[in-house]
Amino acid sequence: MNVTNSAPAIEVSNLRKTYRRAFRKTGSIALQGMDLVVPRGSAFGLIGPNGAGKTTFIKSILGIVQPTEGTVRVLGGSPEDARIRARIGYLPERLHLPGSWMPTAFLAMVGRLKSLPPDAAGDLRLLERVGLSDAVSRKIGGYSKGMRQRLGLAAALIGKPELLVLDEPTDGIDPMGRMEVRRILQEEVQRGTTLFLNSHLLAETERICDRVAILAQGRVVREGRLDELVRGESRWIARFAPGANAEGLTGAGFVPARADGLYHVEAPDPGALNAALDRARACGALLVELRRDGMDLEAVLLGTMGSEPGRAEVAA
């Protein structure tokens, strides 16, 4: 087996980055001992508040920012290695595009930078895939923000990258466009690409990603499978038909919720859940709705951030 192919897509250990300020004794700490493993083939979302260090992390794994300390491995190699970088597609947070260029010329240039043979037909297919077929013969300077973003995504997709790193990929894209971008990203993951997504749109991260890390003050404070992070451990919400015997339900282990007809019940496994429902039915209650009492990603983030201390400055 090829060793590099079995390595995680991204692996960082004790990653630290302090931005030094010219003529000043203090530096700004962006990352302070970050550890993270992104498995191959995952759709991984990085979330966290403004200034948490997300963009600094992305720049570190792409070799754009030099870490102050720690190790970074990407696709089993160093981000400094041009051969590794050629296997990564990157959509930066702030796109700088040459306004006087045609989109095809821009994609051709990105292909050359990745040492790929020219592929004009492939570039046109990519423009079509990101919804820019009507704008192929227009200069980039006349593109709207969303169109520029789509072009950036096309550039990131050049050469079928093994790892796609996207910093706020749907910034400026309308809701229909977001759906299209989501579909493209899902297709890429199905193809086997590892996706690394940084987005403030938590609903988007929730829809696309299967793993999530929360970054706060330059450290990973939570990481795991999305379904495990958002799942309420063992609490369920049940709705019973009007007229249910409230006293009987309470005796059966159901706790009335604030909304009428809703009850919470603790059940760590399917057996316990069904036993509780049997007890409810035995006292005449008719179940009309049952769902897990889960949280969304926003609630997970807010809950996690509630206990985080503030960021400090360091002496350089």
Ligand X SMILES: Nc1ncnc2c1ncn2[C@@H]1O[C@H](COP(=O)(O)OP(=O)(O)OP(=O)(O)O)[C@@H](O)[C@H]1O
Q: Is 75 in the site for ligand X (CB under 6 A)?
A: no
Binding residues for ligand X, total number by CB under 6 A: 11
Q: Which of 55, 60, 149, 194: binder of ligand X (CB under 6 A)? A: 55
Minimum CB–partner distance for residue 306 and ligand X (Å): 18
Measured in whole angstroms, the distance separating CA 12 from the mean position of its chain's CA atoms is 17
DSSP-H helix ranges across the chain? 3-6, 54-61, 82-85, 103-113, 120-129, 145-157, 175-191, 202-208, 226-230, 246-251, 270-282, 297-305
Which of residues 19 and 99 has its CB atom nearest to ligand X in the complex?
19
Which span sits near ligand X by CB under 6 A: 46-54, 184-192, 224-232, 245-253? Answer: 46-54
Minimum CB–partner distance for residue 68 and ligand X (Å): 12
Q: Which of 9, 47, 52, 154: binder of ligand X (CB under 6 A)? A: 52
Which of residues 50 and 100 has its CB atom nearest to ligand X in the complex?
50
Contact partners, residue 130, CB within 8 Å, separation at least 6: 150, 151, 153, 154, 157, 180, 181, 184
Which span sits near ligand X by CB under 6 A: 34-42, 49-57, 76-84, 204-212? Answer: 49-57
Phi-psi region at 168: left, alpha or beta (left = phi > 0; alpha = psi -120 to 50): left
Helix 145-157 and helix 120-129, axial crossing angle in degrees, nearest 10: 130
Q: Is 202 in the site for ligand X (CB under 6 A)?
A: no
Q: Which of 2, 50, 137, 190: binder of ligand X (CB under 6 A)? A: 50
Q: Is 66 in the site for ligand X (CB under 6 A)?
A: no
Which of residues 286 and 316 has its CB atom nearest to ligand X in the complex?
316
Q: Which of 48, 63, 92, 152: binder of ligand X (CB under 6 A)? A: 48
Phi-psi region at 105: left, alpha or beta (left = phi > 0; alpha = psi -120 to 50): alpha
Q: Is 238 in the site for ligand X (CB under 6 A)?
A: no
Do the Cβ atoms of 132 and 155 come closer than 8 Å? Answer: no
Q: Is 100 in the site for ligand X (CB under 6 A)?
A: no
Which of residues 60 and 244 has its CB atom nearest to ligand X in the complex?
60
Q: Is 30 in the site for ligand X (CB under 6 A)?
A: yes
Q: Is 56 in the site for ligand X (CB under 6 A)?
A: yes
Query: Of 107-146, which residues contact ligand X (CB under 6 A)?
Result: none
3 state DSSP class of 103: helix
Q: Which of 28, 68, 234, 304: binder of ligand X (CB under 6 A)? A: 28
Do the Cβ atoms of 56 and 50 come closer than 8 Å? Answer: no
Q: Name the amino acid, one letter, at 302.
A: L
Do the Cβ atoms of 134 and 167 come closer than 8 Å? Answer: no
Which span sits near ligand X by CB under 6 A: 53-61, 71-79, 177-185, 233-241? Answer: 53-61
Contact partners, residue 300, CB within 8 Å, separation at least 6: 214, 222, 229, 230
Phi-psi region at 39: left, alpha or beta (left = phi > 0; alpha = psi -120 to 50): beta
Residues in touch with ligand X (CB under 6 A): 19, 28, 30, 48, 50-56
